[in-house]
């Protein structure tokens, strides 16, 4: 059974969010912190597993709660309804993410000079939006099969190093979206890289993903390779 982290309550305005903190064992000094952003469904055991693995690598992992109130959605047919408000108002989404970033800075044992964010699907979009905000607090952002479309907000220089881990055959992120994203990163003078995994579609890190008709299928090889790519990236930039 996946372990649950210690709950960290924080607020975005009046909205209560229930994040979870996973600490590395036997750390004698402050550790880099990684915000872990869930996919469309919410903070569940899949996210806890990723956070636990990050803690084992020496990072303070903060699994954040974008939906608020610890809500976990299970009916995939509601995905558009669930994500619609966030995608329609990216400024609101950024405020929700910024609230989590502020909360992360209160975690004992976390080195607030070394903060990264990573996320899956919707969470990948969130990670990129935090990087797009241009603030100096985020040193690194990693997107796993996330949406790449810009948020339409003011374009400032991107200070965070950016890593995108992408399925080449992802029908939700077609080649033209990749090209547009690359252009945006160059225009905003970002330190960026994009790794494209062949014969790989959306959701390639999610073991339960098995909907080829939707272009959402788990790929254990891409899952393993992308995780190692992230760790190597963090080792370099944090």
Q: Which domain holds residue 173?
A: 6-237
* Ranges of H-type helices in the chain: 45-56, 79-88, 90-104, 122-132, 175-187, 220-237
CATH number at residue 49: 3.40.50.1820
Burial code (b: 16+ CB inside 10 Å, e: under 16) for 69-83 equals: ebeebeeeeeeeebb
Within a domain: residue 1?
Answer: no
Which residues have CB under 8 Å from 196's CB, separation 6+?
166, 167, 168, 178
Within a domain: residue 136?
Answer: yes
Within a domain: residue 126?
Answer: yes
Within a domain: residue 214?
Answer: yes
Question: CA-CA distances (angstroms) from residue 55 to 97, 107, 140?
Answer: 21, 14, 17
Question: What's this model's pTM, rounded to 2 decimal places?
Answer: 0.96
- Alpha-carbon distance of 127 to 146, in angstroms, equals 9
Within a domain: residue 106?
Answer: yes
Q: What integer pLDDT is reported at residue 1 of this predicted model?
A: 55
User: Considering its fold, how many domains does the chain have in total?
Assistant: 1
Task: Report phi then psi at 232, rounded to 5.
Answer: -65, -40
Q: What are the residue ranges in the chain where pLDDT is below 70?
A: 1
């Amino acid at each position: 059974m996946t372990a649950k982290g210690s709950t960290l309550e924080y607020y975005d305005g009046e909205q209560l969010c229930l994040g979870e903190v996973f600490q590395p064992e036997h750390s004698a000094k402050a550790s880099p912190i990684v915000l872990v952003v869930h996919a469309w469904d919410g903070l569940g055991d899949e996210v806890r597993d990723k956070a636990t693995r990050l803690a084992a690598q020496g990072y303070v992992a903060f699994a954040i709660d974008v939906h608020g109130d610890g809500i976990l959605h299970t009916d995939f047919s509601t995905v558009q309804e669930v994500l619609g408000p966030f995608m329609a108002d990216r400024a609101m989404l950024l405020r929700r993410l910024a609230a989590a970033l502020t909360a992360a800075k209160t975690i004992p044992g976390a080195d607030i000079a070394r903060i990264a964010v990573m996320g899956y699907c919707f969470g990948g979009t969130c990670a990129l939006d935090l990087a797009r905000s241009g603030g100096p607090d985020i040193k690194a952002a990693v997107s796993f099969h996330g949406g790449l479309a810009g948020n339409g907000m003011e374009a400032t220089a991107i200070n965070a190093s950016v890593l995108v881990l992408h399925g080449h055959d992802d029908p939700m992120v077609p080649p033209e979206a990749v090209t547009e994203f690359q252009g945006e990163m160059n225009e905003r003078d970002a330190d960026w890289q994009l790794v494209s995994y062949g014969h790989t579609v959306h959701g390639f890190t999610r073991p339960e993903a098995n909907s080829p008709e939707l272009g959402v299928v788990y790929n254990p090889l891409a899952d393993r390779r992308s995780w190692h790519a992230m760790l190597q990236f963090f080792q370099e930039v944090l």
